[in-house]
């Protein structure tokens, strides 16, 4: 069963750029793997992919294609996916309207709830590296 997910315009723009700049053919999408992340709420990994892997389902939202495994589908039910950018980090954030704020002692030093650190190398997956030419 596919989750009921809301994707903000900022997140849609970010996801579209990842897929568009991947160099993959039409029909490509974003593989999104979401899991629980303690005080930060959710952690995620993603990559642009040509098609879903076995066991994944395709969630289409406003022209975006998200390839989701079973655990990710469960985690995303009722969630709003947004794109957050601050001076020190940027990435997808997951907003759960039913989740209470964290009350643990590390809350003051924990990253903003739901903000995921993104390794820039994940953006280029699926594309060969450009050759370096000596001058």
Instruction: State both tokens at 27.
Output: 């029909």
Instruction: State both tokens at 123.
Output: 């953006």
Half-sphere exposure of 17 (CA within 13 A, CB side): 10
Task: Give the CATH number of domain 6-122.
Answer: 2.60.300.12
Inter-CA distances, 104 with 35, 43, 77, 112, 119, Å: 20, 18, 25, 14, 27
Give domain limits for the chain. Answer: 6-122
- Residues 98-111 pLDDT 10s: 766 555 544 444 44
pTM of the model: 0.69
Inter-CA distances, 120 with 45, 71, 97, 128, Å: 12, 24, 29, 15
Average pLDDT over residues 36-50: 78
- Residues 57-116 pLDDT 10s: 999 988 899 999 999 998 889 889 999 888 887 888 888 887 665 555 444 444 444 444
Q: Single out the residue of 129, 113, 132 nearest to residue 121, CA to CA.
A: 129
């Amino acid at each position: 069963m596919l989750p009921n997910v809301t994707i903000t315009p900022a997140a849609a723009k970010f996801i579209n750029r990842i897929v568009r700049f991947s160099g993959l053919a039409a029909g490509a999408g974003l593989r999104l793997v979401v899991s629980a992340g303690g005080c930060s709420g959710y952690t995620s990994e993603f990559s642009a992919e040509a098609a879903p892997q076995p066991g994944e389902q395709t969630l289409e939202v406003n022209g975006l294609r998200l390839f989701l495994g079973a655990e990710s589908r469960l985690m995303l039910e009722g969630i709003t996916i947004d794109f957050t950018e601050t001076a020190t980090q940027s990435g997808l954030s997951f907003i759960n309207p039913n989740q209470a704020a964290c009350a643990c002692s590390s809350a003051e030093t924990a990253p903003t709830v739901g903000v995921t650190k993104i390794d820039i190398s994940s953006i280029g997956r699926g594309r060969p590296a450009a050759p370096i030419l000596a001058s």
